[in-house]
Amino acid sequence: MKRMKVKRTIVANIFKPNVMKIMIMGLIWESTVGIFSRGERTEFEASSDLECGSVDWSHYFANADNLGYSQINHKRISLELWKLTSQKLIESFPLDPIKENYVRQVRDCIFSAVQPEPFKSAVKLVAVSKEVVEDLLDLDVSVTETKEFIQFVSGAQILPGSVPLAHRYGGHQLTDLSSFGKSHEALAKKLYIAGKYKEVANFGGYRSQELWWSGRHGTRWELQLKGSGKTPYSRDGDGRAVLRSSIREFLCSEALNYLGIPTSRAASLVVSNDNVKRDQFYNGSVKNEKGAVVLRVAKSWFRFGSLEILAHSGETELLRTLVDFIIKQYFPFINATNSNRYLDFFSQVVTDTSYLIAHWMSVGFAHGVCNTDNFSVLSVTLDYGPFGFMDFYDPNFVPNTSDDEGRYKIGNQANVGRYNLDKLRKALTPLLDSNQQLSAEQILQDYPDLYHIKINHIAVGFESHVGQTGFMELFKAKLGLFGRDKNDDYLIKYLLKLMEDTRADFTMTFRQLSEITQQQLEAHSIPEEYWALQDIARHTKFFPWVNLYLSRLNKNIVDSDEARRTRMQSINPRYILRNWMAESAIKKAEGNDFSEVHLLQKILCYPFNKQTEAEEAGYSSHPPPWARELRVSCSS
């Protein structure tokens, strides 16, 4: 079992969800052989247990025409041939015995069976991810042009075999910040679990509509319709999502994927003319907005809060059933019969969460609402709300307007992760004996060595008490450094401090360091096109830093300047989804012009490649002055 070492950190939660997420999670679709699992083991399932390289896929595609695949790419060409089943979750967990859909306290179950609520007005499909549809869901993209597909992804039609389910989970929220910055124990007393917290439905799984199915390579995917109506867990929310937030989620989940960061995916985006009332900034200004639904895809939508609510309610055996299910389905390398399996599970989640957050930081991404209910047990990025990518470097960057105290500022995300992992540890405590509980505490103490910033915040600004392995290794790669040098940490901290002092653009500083030649740096010559480097070069200590950097590059073994630049350009994006870019696309979309949504979707698929259309749109230029005035909130 891995051991990790970490210091105490403090985090606050403020998210107040009002969007119902109907998941299609329970739908298990055996796409290759075109049948549904009814509890019987199929030939496909048996073969998918083998190593991928050992499966002879030609056997399954020998009669592709009969199975309903297109001849060229083996994709399903009709939804009639793409059937679903919710049997996996229904057989694994007790369902809420109450069938009526009304807000209530629910116990002794994981899911409630709830139908999605179709829009009253006509819906329009405005965006599709071809890669998700074809490569993950094995559908030919032509299927998305059919009426049946639009009905399905808008919640108006339930495909045969599926049972939409709403997922019951909770989360921690901080109601008082007076103790923020004090002891971890004092903070914990001010936290509570929301007993009926979130809504999610599956088709065959959740009522955020989640769909389970297996692709050609044996991978199961859960689908979720975000914004498809109320569930028993909706509290005061209407279960809807608006176009504004749905565009942001669609674009950003796909953008993070192409940046190489673990994330849920977005298959489609539909919009209706139904009015959805929203007080966007919680200031009493309620407005009508267009309703929308995003079809989201992930291997699992279980979160820390899925376990927390069961532990909080004393439902220990159901908690054990859920964790055993998660281990068996998603952590096959963990021995499911070993008495230490829960420790092994926790250790892996700690490791994976630390690396996820380090990757967020490496591209300047701030999630905005890092509550325990928004942290995935599979350590993928979930629930895009008031997120934001930094423009200029600022460790106090807060994308969420509702976060007045800066609980989730970008420089505190590592501490947030540690805090949330501690809540997961406490949720697992009923399943651990006294010795295992001590081991779990030790595992969490090693968290900083995984993330490894351990940088004092005067030097860096990304103020956390975490260490080096994840964060520093990523930033060394961003600077094109090979091997190890005792001064690498200092070199990175030095640069970040210069960026903070000069408010240099985070993304373009690293990108332009990957484009400028070593000869130009040696001559202390910064061409005009490298505007971010010109900004940081105003600092009197920039060129002294350049000299240290060049000296370190000279220690790279068997490396050329061209190889360095190529390597750095492959990991330092030129384009990210800046808030001003998303806002520009949203404004046009509200007038039924989705051209910029499509442009951004296209550009963000290749964030590391210089693209003419992106350059003409100014996506790698200085952000416009009005970008600083943008405000984003939790309102969906």
Active-site annotation, residues: 373
Structure tokens at 562: 């061209």
Backbone angles phi, psi at 53, to 5 degrees: -70, -15
Neighbours of 315 (CB within 10 A): 18
Consecutive H or E run containing 314: none
HSE (side-chain half, CA atoms, 13 Å) at 84: 29
Local structure of 192: helix, strand or coil: strand
Decide: 518 and 564 in contact? Cβ < 8 Å. Answer: yes
| Beta bridge pairs of residue 632 | 400
Structure tokens at 537: 């070069």
Task: Please report, to the nearest 10 degrees, the dihedral formed by the alpha carbons of residues 141, 142, 145, 150 taken in order.
Answer: -50
Whole-number Å distance between alpha carbons of 13 and 192: 10
Whole-number Å distance between alpha carbons of 283 and 289: 16
Taking only Cα atoms into account, the Rg of the chain, rounded to an integer number of angstroms, comes to: 24
| Cα–Cα–Cα angle for 525, 527, 531, rounded to 5 degrees | 115
Place of tokens 């520093």: 472
Whole-number Å distance between alpha carbons of 507 and 470: 19
Whole-number Å distance between alpha carbons of 375 and 509: 30
| Beta bridge pairs of residue 29 | 36
